[in-house]
Chain A
């Protein structure tokens, strides 16, 4: 099988780490060679963060480059636009419609490009946009945005629902398992 590429992008502190952990575990259990890569360091809080998940028969590079991503899962609206050049021409974007103002916008030096998603669609890219924050709140905690988005990603995979749930049970701290299973269910059936 040719290597598949998933990018998880967002803003530091949104919980993309758990999402990639979940995905990595699931794909290893499915028998794939897997590489998951993220950069820890200066850009943690409030910075733009990106995690690369690659899987297949044999994975070499840990990173995903321009025109290579099969999926971009974006935790924030304009992060999808920032990383769009990485998307394959037939790739898919799953995006949380939440808006988080970056510092240049906060201090009035730049405008938030509110029409980013429309522009992406105009370019012909496949966009699955959902209000993951509201769904997470419905599940009981705003922090479950990551699981809601993973549930959305799961819709495009040939991996059974139970296996995703299994992976949640194996990666999430026991006291948050029920909450996250609920969030997954709501995201999956949305």
Chain B
């Protein structure tokens, strides 16, 4: 059947048709939809794990038991899963195992622009990279076959454009792969020195065999036109090259990006007057060509920074001849911001007002860094707010303990915040940790997590009680606060900062975008009372604007959270009577 699918849905379809039985993942843009789509197939057991390391290890266990398994994560998620990854390379698999990783060139929704191909090289695990949805589907299917044939997990590398672009896929039917027998095999699966020493040569030999496959394989193809210019490329870059240069160049399109072929690249290059390597992010294919003694033009023309397009290629090749309009006027930006009624805003207002240092984390609440709140001091990676605050306070002593906090979301806290909290309790810093509990994984589009009480299918699941969890690791002061109550937020933060022991403040109101949350009636400005002082605009609610010197509330955005009424010195913001 012909379907228009985003790359991630195509991956899910490929995994499904290949008989995949178990998928465990942690959400992360642009990888999230792989697991969301896969969860729609009843034949696959799917779950959201607390983090990528757990997800990867669950997939390992399922493979060990004999099932075809997969996990999916964003590029920085692979950092978290790197520990199992490197040794999985040694154990290899029983049932086929596919690790999907999605890079984000251009950082549409990420904190860095790392190139996950480095992981494939470092862990010596084969990596496939599709260039459209059809290939995403084909490669996902084929990855299981290769995984079992070569006794290795296989990495499937997506990038934002391929993951989130829809193109036509010819789909088929699922073939059950069953669950293979499990046989105890300590030499293969117990990676202690004596065994690992025997497995390492196997890994090297496997790579050699995979290079042979890469030399002559349908995934690495040459589109030959003439011998003037040859381009070596892969993934999204391939599409941009074809768009910008069409048939004016010969193209070596790589689908296996680790290991890279040698003989076929040498042969291709030897036929060409000039060879370009066009790859997004780092110059990995280029370095490979250099190591083979092939002179290529790569990163000197095609930057390692940001996302490419056909324009990038055309410009670098001196072929950008598109005529454009130029208005010569500044259009005000629409930066991402927290929604009207976002429960995080009240807490941020209290923190910003009291000039408290705030170590931040990864999620919607990173947007607290933006104007007019400017509430954050740092954002590094998942969980780093909690552990970072401990270090900050150890260095700054009681002075910093009294005016610094960290903020972390419920899902991020479960991902890797709780370990930092254990460290705070164990190593005794007088730190104040604020968990912004909006009862969902918000940023990636509302995924369930261990604190929500539901699983990926929306069925009831065991629910972690954050208060009990925090107390059980040794935090005596655990308080819950309503972030819509500004006075209460300020009071609780001040009290916990001045307490002589570590504390956790759980700032708890569900995300207003949740279907289960029924918005209250919009608030209205009493124009007679409004003096136009703009106090209500100081916390950055997108529903409030000024017109003719008076505040106005957009009734399509307002959810009646009531925070602005607490800011107004003239009681000009009023609640309409509930019907």
The interface of chain A, by Cβ under 8 A from chain B, is 11, 24-25, 28, 33-48, 59-63, 65-68, 78, 81-82, 84-89, 101-113, 116, 119-120, 123, 125, 142
A113 to B311, CA, bound (A): 28
- Most A Cβ at <10 Å: residue of B330, B333, B371, B534: B333
- Asked if B372 is at the interface of the complex by the 8 Å CB criterion, the answer is yes
- Asked if B160 is at the interface of the complex by the 8 Å CB criterion, the answer is yes
Residues of A within 8 A of B2 (CB): 28
Q: 1/0 per position for B203-245, CB-CB distance to A under 8 A?
A: 0000000000000000000000000000000001001101100
A67 to B310, CA, bound (A): 12
Report if A85-B329 is in contact (Cβ < 8 Å); known contacts: A28-B168, A101-B545.
no
- Most A Cβ at <10 Å: residue of B162, B236, B242, B331: B331
Find the A residue at minimum CB distance from B110: A41
Contact A106 B109 (CB under 8 A): no
Say which residue of B160, B323, B334, B372 sits within 8 Å of A46 (CB atoms). B334
The interface of chain B, by Cβ under 8 A from chain A, is 2, 4, 29-30, 108-109, 132, 160-162, 164-168, 236, 239-240, 242-243, 309-311, 322-327, 329-337, 339, 367, 371-372, 443, 445, 513, 534, 537, 540, 542, 544-546, 556
A35 to B169, CA, bound (A): 11
A38 to B545, CA, bound (A): 29
Contact B331 A40 (CB under 8 A): no
Closest approach, in angstroms, between the C-beta of A173 and any C-beta of chain B? 14
5 contacts between A and B (CB under 8 A): A35-B165, A42-B443, A43-B108, A45-B337, A61-B243
Report if A103-B542 is in contact (Cβ < 8 Å); known contacts: A33-B168, A61-B240.
yes
- Most A Cβ at <10 Å: residue of B161, B325, B546, B556: B325
A170 to B174, CA, bound (A): 25
Contact B108 A39 (CB under 8 A): yes
Contact A78 B4 (CB under 8 A): no
Closest approach, in angstroms, between the C-beta of B498 and any C-beta of chain A? 33
Residues of A within 8 A of B162 (CB): 62
Residues of B within 8 A of A103 (CB): 333-335, 337, 371, 540, 542
Residues of A within 8 A of B4 (CB): 24-25, 28, 34, 36
Closest approach, in angstroms, between the C-beta of B25 and any C-beta of chain A? 16
Residues of B within 8 A of A43 (CB): 108, 334-336
Closest approach, in angstroms, between the C-beta of A49 and any C-beta of chain B? 9
Residues of B within 8 A of A35 (CB): 132, 165-167
Say which residue of A37, A41, A46, A87 sits within 8 Å of B29 (CB atoms). A41
Report if A39-B160 is in contact (Cβ < 8 Å); known contacts: A60-B242, A112-B332.
yes
Given A39-B108, A47-B336, A61-B309, 11 further pairs, Cβ under 8 A? A28-B4, A33-B167, A45-B336, A46-B334, A46-B542, A59-B167, A60-B240, A61-B239, A62-B167, A81-B331, A116-B329
A125 to B327, CA, bound (A): 11
Closest approach, in angstroms, between the C-beta of B573 and any C-beta of chain A? 16
A65 to B319, CA, bound (A): 14
Find the A residue at minimum CB distance from B342: A45
A105 to B242, CA, bound (A): 41
Contact A108 B546 (CB under 8 A): yes
A3 to B133, CA, bound (A): 18
Find the B residue at minimum CB distance from A78: B331
Residues of B within 8 A of A119 (CB): 327, 329
Residues of B within 8 A of A48 (CB): 333-334
Contact B167 A66 (CB under 8 A): no
Top-7 shortest CB links A-B: A41-B109, A67-B322, A62-B165, A61-B243, A37-B165, A110-B332, A60-B242
Closest approach, in angstroms, between the C-beta of B392 and any C-beta of chain A? 26
A99 to B542, CA, bound (A): 14
Contact A65 B309 (CB under 8 A): yes
A46 to B554, CA, bound (A): 13
Interface of B is mostly: loop
Residues of B within 8 A of A45 (CB): 336-337, 339, 513
Closest approach, in angstroms, between the C-beta of B393 and any C-beta of chain A? 30
A25 to B329, CA, bound (A): 36
A86 to B309, CA, bound (A): 13
Find the B residue at minimum CB distance from A44: B336
A138 to B165, CA, bound (A): 34
Residues of A within 8 A of B108 (CB): 39, 41-43
Contact A24 B537 (CB under 8 A): no
Residues of B within 8 A of A41 (CB): 29-30, 108-109
A82 to B329, CA, bound (A): 9
Residues of B within 8 A of A36 (CB): 4, 165-167
Residues of B within 8 A of A85 (CB): 324-326
A59 to B166, CA, bound (A): 11
A29 to B482, CA, bound (A): 51
Residues of A within 8 A of B371 (CB): 103, 107, 109
A34 to B4, CA, bound (A): 8
A123 to B323, CA, bound (A): 13
A104 to B370, CA, bound (A): 11
A43 to B332, CA, bound (A): 15
A97 to B448, CA, bound (A): 39
Contact A62 B168 (CB under 8 A): no
Closest approach, in angstroms, between the C-beta of A34 and any C-beta of chain B? 6
Closest approach, in angstroms, between the C-beta of B158 and any C-beta of chain A? 13
Find the B residue at minimum CB distance from A38: B164
Closest approach, in angstroms, between the C-beta of B369 and any C-beta of chain A? 12
A123 to B172, CA, bound (A): 50
Contact B331 A34 (CB under 8 A): no
A182 to B327, CA, bound (A): 36
Find the B residue at minimum CB distance from A32: B168
Contact A125 B334 (CB under 8 A): no
- Most B Cβ at <10 Å: residue of A47, A63, A108, A123: A63
Contact A46 B337 (CB under 8 A): yes
Residues of B within 8 A of A68 (CB): 322
Find the B residue at minimum CB distance from A10: B334
Residues of B within 8 A of A108 (CB): 534, 537, 546
Residues of A within 8 A of B109 (CB): 39-42
Residues of A within 8 A of B367 (CB): 42
Residues of B within 8 A of A24 (CB): 4, 166
A61 to B443, CA, bound (A): 27
Contact A104 B332 (CB under 8 A): yes
Say which residue of A62, A89, A102 sits within 8 Å of B332 (CB atoms). A102
